[in-house]
Amino acid sequence: MHDTTSSEEQAVAEASVSPAVDGAQDQADRASTPEELWLTAKEQEAWRTFLYATTLLTDRFGEALQSDPEIGLALGEYEILVRLNEAEGGFLRMSELADKVVHSRSRLTHTITRMEKRGLVERVRCSSDGRGRQAQLTAEGQALLERAAPTHVRSVRDLLLDVIGHDDLLELGRILGRTIAEDAPIAVGCPAPHEDAPARS
């Protein structure tokens, strides 16, 4: 059966459809405005991708640490050990530590209490003025950090770095960096925990 539609008729039909299709595509790709409040469908999808991926990755990083019976750390506990290890003298005021690990004061208190029971940290009076409390990394905490670091870094590589690549990881950091304050405590403060370091007491 031969197509009896003339080239002129086909051109008219395409002309009547294309603008609507293009318009729908433009509408889908446009950026929302603060005045209208609501996200576009693609913006909503991007937001859900961010939320799903960050939640899933955080859970998996934590699982990598907790699934090893010789480590058994929550991701937040690991980060506390890292921050104390980076701090001069191996200690930080509780308020400063809470800011660095993005914990409320009450949440940090509960976490530190749990870690104290394992002998990983201890709370002592602030050495500078004797007022307030500071968290101090112990020798046991230092040793556990050294054991846990390779497992954690391997999970970061397997689940994120090796998936998106070096350049995209740096770009991701630059993008997310625009959402936090310029003085956010994210700078790397000291050598990796597996390198030679004096034991804490």
Would you place residue 35 in the very low, low, confident or very high pLDDT band (cuts 50, 70, 90)? Answer: confident
Q: Number of helices (H) and strands (E), helices first, in the chain?
A: 8, 3
3-state secondary structure of 78: helix
Residue 93 phi/psi, 5-degree rounding, is -60, 145
With 0-12 / 13-18 / 19 or more C-beta atoms within 10 angstroms meaning exposed / middle / buried, residue 98 is: buried
Sign of CA dihedral 44, 46, 47, 49: positive
pLDDT at 17: 45
Top pLDDT among 25 and 70 is at 70
pLDDT given for residue 132 in this prediction: 79
Mean pLDDT of the chain: 85
What is the spatial distance between Cα 76 and Cα 148, in angstroms, rounded to a whole number? Answer: 13
The model scores a pTM over 0.75: yes
Q: Position of tokens 């293009």?
A: 22
